Amino acid sequence: MAYQNSPQQMNDELQKFRDEISCIVVLEQAGYRFARSESSARHMRFRRQKGESIIVTHGGKGWWDPHNSSSIVKGSVIDLVRFLNPGMSLGNARVELRGMLGLTPSGAEYVAEPKERKPARDPKYMWKNRQAPHPGSAAWTYLTRDRALPESILHLANR
């Protein structure tokens, strides 16, 4: 005799899959590998074969296929399992996802490369060594045309 779940129990289970299973785990199980050089903090690209990639978004909760131009193929972890296994029923997807509960990604994590930063100049130094506005400069044009200061005032300020 088959075990029957109520519609509410089924919905609760589907929501549990969405909340607790990362799309990254599903892709790793399917043989996809993290492409760090093609990823950003918000969009992580996974590749399996040439021309076959999937982008994971929303912290592992969503995905989309950048190669399917005829229609947008995207969704949750449940949709991803069914996309990777064409023709799979929702019941079979639920069975497969039950085996992934509690699994964590094996290492696919985007770590931003630290950018080389120039040391900030001291504002006091910048103010002291700034170039005074002169006729034709961007500052001069802004002050006379946009702010309507008379040129005589600017000449006095430059002394």
- Do the beta carbons of residue 77 and residue 90 sit within 8 Å? no
From the centroid of its chain, how far is CA 125? 39
Co-location of 40 and 84 in the same domain: yes
Token pair, residue 66, equals 């950048």
| CATH number, domain containing residue 37 | 3.90.580.10
- What is the dihedral angle through the alpha carbons of 103, 13, 60, 109, rounded to the nearest 10 degrees? -10
Co-location of 70 and 141 in the same domain: no
pLDDT value, residue 95: 92
Domain span holding position 16: 9-98
- Do the beta carbons of residue 54 and residue 128 sit within 8 Å? no
Q: What is the mean pLDDT of each run of 10 residues along the chain (159 residues)?
A: 72 89 90 87 86 86 79 85 91 91 75 72 84 91 93 88
Is 130 domain-assigned?
yes
Co-location of 147 and 94 in the same domain: no
Amino acid at 101: L
Cβ contacts of 7 within 8 Å, gap of 6 or more: none
Co-location of 27 and 78 in the same domain: yes
pLDDT value, residue 1: 40
Q: How many domains does the chain have?
A: 2
Residue 66: count of CB within 10 angstroms of its CB: 11
Co-location of 20 and 69 in the same domain: yes
> Among residues 83, 98, 113, which one ends one of the domains?
98
Co-location of 26 and 91 in the same domain: yes
The torsion angles phi and psi of 44, rounded to 5 degrees, stand at -105, 120
